[in-house]
Amino acid sequence: MKKLKKVILKISVAIFMIVCVGTLCKQAYGQVQAVTDTKMLQEQMEYYARNIDSNNITKEDILKVYDVISEEYSPEDMADIIEENAKEIQAQGVDKELIKAGANFIRTTDEKEIRKIIENDIDFEKIQEKIEKGEKPEEILSSMVQEMPNEKKVEIATKVVLSNKIVKTVILVLIILFIYGTILRWRIYTKAGKPGWAAIIPVYRQIVMYQVCGLSPWLMLLWLVPILGWLVMGVIAIMKRFCLAKEFGRGGLFGFGLLFLPVIFQSIIAFHPAIQKEEEEA
């Protein structure tokens, strides 16, 4: 069992580093303690105690252990184990809030992405040296984070954030909304007699939208006026919704729809065949 504790200790320090550098140290601490102390891992520990040379633990050994844990237990299962064994973990000196944060971290983290970070960004040789000297995980973490260049800290932190399932979902939704919003603008510009491709050109797409709304694009220069200009632009941003509704023959209620539910009401303008731009009076 002692042999396996060295393996688990290295995994613990690695995950500690990943998450701490990514400003999520509390979550990682709860995750590591829960996984290493639960009875559900006894069979894996016994297996690796027989098959791993504790005096020559390689990165491949660490990844092998990590793969077994992540394959046999889903993030939800691991989070449940943490919560079920919270009292036992707390008795070992782990803060209650850290345990709770650890469970939340596991539920929202992509374990495959974390594996890539362990494989590519963690120096296990240094960790091994410090473990052999008898240093505690907290001491190893502190010293290695201090030694790590700022560029590397930022790189790992970015990877950790992007491995979060919620963040990935949000990014995907934003990308879809951006693409759909571009399609809507293309359709609206075309209906207004403007070039649809303007929707994909930065800055110019805003100029065309002002023209479609019957406003002067020169108003955009107010962005260059600090504070007062920004306040005026905020008012104009609201006015644009009502101007757009008016240009397509809609009333004030439709303008409120464009203000509070822009995707839905822009879709109506873009795809409803009966809604066309009002002809300008001669």
Q: Which stretches in the chain have pLDDT values below 70?
A: 1-58, 61-62, 65-66, 68-69, 82, 88-95, 98-99, 102, 124, 128, 131-132, 135-142, 144-145, 160, 279-282
DSSP single-letter state for residue 23: T
The pLDDT of residue 142 is: 66
The pLDDT of residue 33 is: 42
Q: Compute the residue count for the chain.
A: 282
Cα(98)–Cα(89) distance, rounded to whole angstroms?
10
SS3 198: helix
The pLDDT of residue 182 is: 93
Query: Is the pTM here over 0.85, yes or no?
Result: no
Cα(152)–Cα(157) distance, rounded to whole angstroms?
8
SS3 274: coil
DSSP codes, 159-195? HHHHHBHHHHHHHHHHHHHHHHHHHHHHHHHHHTTS-
Determine the longest span between alpha carbons in the chain, in angstroms: 91
Task: Answer yes or no: are the C-beta atoms of 128 and 10 closer than 8 Å.
Answer: yes
SS3 109: strand
Cα(114)–Cα(173) distance, rounded to whole angstroms?
22
